[in-house]
Amino acid sequence: MIDPSGLPEEPGCYLFKDSTGRVIYVGKAKNLRKRVKSYFQKREFDPKTEVLIRNIDSVDFIVTNNEVEALILENNLIKKKSPKYNIDLKDSKRYAYIKLTDEEFPRLLVSRRMDEDGTFFGPFVSAASRDYILSALKKTFQIRTCKRMPKKPCLRHQIDLCQAPCAGKIGSDEYSEKVRAIVSILKGRTDELIKSKKCEMNCASAELDFERALKLRNQIRAIEHLKEKQNMEISKKYDEDIINYIIKNGRVYLILFNIYRGLLENKQEFEFEYGDDFLEEFLVQYYSENTVPAEIILPQEVNSSLISFLRVKRGKQVSVKVPKIGDKKQLLDLVTKNIEASFFGDIEKLEELKNKLHLHEAPVVIECFDISHLSGTSTVGSMVQFRNALPDKSNYRRFKIKTVDGIDDTRAIAEVVRRRYVRLVEGGSDLPDLIIIDGGVGQLNSAAAVLKKLGLTVPVISIAKKFEEVYMPGLAFPLRLNRKSKALQLVRRIRDEAHRFAISYNRLLRKKELLR
């Protein structure tokens, strides 16, 4: 079962994947952890959701700045991934845009397609907000709405809603100034229009015209929606990659967003050891095997020879930018936010675990062991590794028990612990910061004896399933952590993962034995 405790309590999108790694469902959430957790609570679901839950093997997520971005990102991901359990709207349209027509006297229209002539702004999640904005702009700047300009002014001119360019009541230069003001507002510079509308609203209220004041208030709220940056969908006609990283404890944690024609379509995570010129080395390796986009946004400058390499690889011009302000800087900050959520989302749990166990440092690398068998047959051991409180599956290990016959978990634990750390010591590899044993005092003492014999001083604890008690060498009584504490939640999560990994290997061996 998926453990949602590792997810951030942030808005964003979650992607459920099956055992093959294929995305089978995309959803949005105001709080990712709470939303994903709701799928695994004991309650009745509709048949379709029941089938979905049975097929979930893992979950990925992308953090956004707000729910509006999550809505747009969800729409993009569904269209890109075509997940099996999302609603299939084959003829569905995208969120609507506001279109400024390419005419001598331009009009403002609603459009769902961007393959037409004109300039597009948006998209707009709320149709009501979009319509208020359109109405406010048309009324404020008296823009024409007629598809074909008549030869004489219409009723809209009579009621002071249009300046009648059809009859020459306004010249193209003056009209163009109005259009430029509209473009400025639709690009997010809304303060001037809001100030004007607030003055009108206050005047209407002073004149006791509350109905008009209410309409103006609604228009102001709609226009203020333009201030909410919708970073997940930026109207562009080229591709770009956004790359940012965090360096911590001698390691680089890096995330790359692939954006295709303004749509975020992929998030890739990387973790590797820190070294001089690591960013340039990463860029060379990554783009040697992947498509080079028209624009790459980075947090720092790179040398000109690398840019030349990217241009040769792409066969066209490549723009490498290091923004300090503006929308591109906000996108870099959003990548940083995702790094913190993906790699460091459980740092608080590690700090609390350090304090509860009285460790000198937070246990960045934790390894956990478990034993699985069926009535003493097909006995296997498992070891899972968590790094920064997240599974590091590349360092999972499984063991066939060689020296133990029948049911003897304490001796089996001793064997897998000895085999694991003899190999690490002989290979000069780093040791974990904490070892967890699934079991009680017997299993703990068995593992501690092996570590002592090897001359290792790695902290080791065990956790017993019945009362979720934590045992430590030298303590006469177990630690009883609060069941809601973040430290115990982390220990249980790691223990459960080791248990799952052991059982899956045991089942695999039994299946092979039956086939044989």
Report pLDDT digits (tens) over 486-504.
Answer: 888 889 989 999 999 988 8
Q: Which fold has domain 4-81?
A: GIY-YIG endonuclease (3.40.1440)
Question: Matching CATH topology for 240-344 and 349-515?
Answer: yes
In degrees and rounded to multiples of 5, residue 320 shows phi and psi of -110, 120
> For the residues 331-352, what does the mean pLDDT come to?
83
> For the residues 455-470, what does the mean pLDDT come to?
88
Rank 3-7, 258-262, 333-337, 404-408 by mean pLDDT and report only the highest.
333-337
Rank 188-197, 333-342, 456-465 by mean pLDDT and report only the highest.
456-465
Span 424-445, pLDDT tens digits? 999 988 999 999 999 889 999 9
Question: What is d(CA 306, CA 319) in angstroms, rounded to the nearest whole number?
Answer: 12
> For the residues 67-96, what does the mean pLDDT come to?
69
pLDDT band at 227 (very low <50, low <70, confident <90, very high): low
Query: Is this model's pTM higher than 0.85 or not?
Result: no
Q: So where are the chain's domains? A: 4-81, 96-227, 240-344, 349-515
Across 34-43, 364-373, 408-417, least confident range: 34-43
Give the total residue count for the chain: 516
> For the residues 235-249, what does the mean pLDDT come to?
80
> For the residues 106-131, what does the mean pLDDT come to?
72
pLDDT band at 189 (very low <50, low <70, confident <90, very high): low
Given a cut of 80, whether residue 202 has pLDDT beyond it is yes
> Do residues 246 and 342 touch, judged by C-beta distance below 8 A?
no
- Tell me what pLDDT residue 377 has: 73
pLDDT band at 30 (very low <50, low <70, confident <90, very high): confident
Grouping H, G, I as helix, E, B as strand and the rest as coil, residue 452 is helix
Class of domain 240-344: alpha beta
pLDDT band at 93 (very low <50, low <70, confident <90, very high): very low
Percent of the chain beyond pLDDT 70?
Answer: 88
- Tell me what pLDDT residue 383 has: 94
The closest of 339, 257, 338, 330 to 293, measured between CA atoms, is: 257
CATH superfamily of 349-515: UvrC, RNAse H endonuclease domain (3.30.420.340)
Cα separation of the two ends of the chain: 30
Given a cut of 80, whether residue 46 has pLDDT beyond it is no
